[in-house]
């Protein structure tokens, strides 16, 4: 068994707008435990979320850990969260779930120390609103990058 720390970079593009329904100051952030961090305005050209997770390798299996990782073993995921910051308090109205099972085993076993795992995703749904729900593997590509 070995545990490695890995930097993850989520590159978000096509953010819809800073207004949505009754929300006038929409923001997008990454969820760390129960908090939302690194949030940016919903009309930003791009949003970059960079953080570390742990990967635990046991024989031919992989598990993910850390404050940015959610869900039970075997079904781990990351959350990107839509909301507003009202007097410093995060008010969520939607979340996007990125399943870590969308990372191929080949990719996971080819990560070397000092590498970063990067994903790119459009944040506007088909209906033009902030994307939410679970991201399909066809909407997201994971690549290994050197830092």
Judged against a pLDDT cut of 80, whether residue 114 lies above it is answered with no
Number of Cβ atoms within 10 Å of the Cβ of 55:
21
The confidence score (pLDDT) of residue 3 equals 65
Tokens of 2: 């070995």
Give me the residue spans of the domains in the chain: 2-146
Mean pLDDT calculated for residue range 51-59? 89
Q: How far apart are CA 41 and CA 100, in angstroms?
A: 25
Mean pLDDT calculated for residue range 106-126? 88
The confidence score (pLDDT) of residue 77 equals 97
**Residue 88 or 36, more confident:** 36
Specify the DSSP class assigned to residue 96. Answer: E
Percent of the chain with pLDDT over 70: 99
Judged against a pLDDT cut of 90, whether residue 9 lies above it is answered with yes
16: left (phi over 0), alpha (psi -120 to 50) or beta: alpha
Percent of the chain with pLDDT over 90: 73
């Amino acid at each position: 068994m070995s545990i490695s720390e890995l930097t993850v970079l989520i590159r978000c593009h096509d953010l819809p707008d800073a207004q949505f329904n009754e929300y006038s100051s929409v923001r997008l952030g990454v969820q760390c435990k129960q908090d939302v961090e690194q949030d940016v305005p919903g009309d930003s050209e791009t949003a970059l979320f960079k953080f570390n997770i742990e990967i635990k390798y046991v024989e031919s299996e992989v598990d993910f850990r850390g404050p940015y990782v959610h869900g039970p073993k075997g079904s781990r995921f990351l959350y990107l969260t839509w909301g507003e910051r009202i007097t410093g308090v995060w008010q969520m109205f939607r979340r996007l779930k990125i399943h870590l099972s969308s990372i191929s085993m080949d990719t996971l076993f080819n990560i070397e120390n000092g590498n970063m795992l990067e994903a790119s995703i459009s944040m506007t749904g088909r209906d033009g609103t902030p994307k939410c729900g679970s991201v399909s593997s066809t909407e997201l590509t994971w690549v290994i990058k050197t830092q």
